[in-house]
Amino acid sequence: MSEENYHWYVVYTRPRWEKKVALNLAQKGIEHYCPLNKVRKQWSDRKKMVLEPL
């Protein structure tokens, strides 16, 4: 498919389901774009680096 035939669509997801939807699209062979940001989260017992959607 040439670049002229590509169409962009926006997908509205439930909160915090962006990565799951991106995985489902990839499994179906649909090209997607889901930029992620590495963020440090802190809980009462630990700190962890997590990937969050922008």
pLDDT at residue 37, as a whole number: 96
Task: Please give the residue range of the domain that contains residue 30.
Answer: 3-53
Q: How many percent of the chain have pLDDT more than 70?
A: 94
pLDDT at residue 34, as a whole number: 94
Cβ atoms of residues 25 and 17 within 8 Å = no
Domain count, the chain: 1
Residue 7, CA atoms < 13 Å, CB-side half-sphere: 2
pLDDT at residue 2, as a whole number: 62
Average pLDDT, the chain: 92
| Residue 48: CB atoms within 10 Å | 9
CA angle, 16 as apex, 11 and 17 as ends, to 5°?
50
SS3 content of the chain, % helix, strand, coil (to 5): 25, 25, 50
Rounded average pLDDT over 19-44: 96
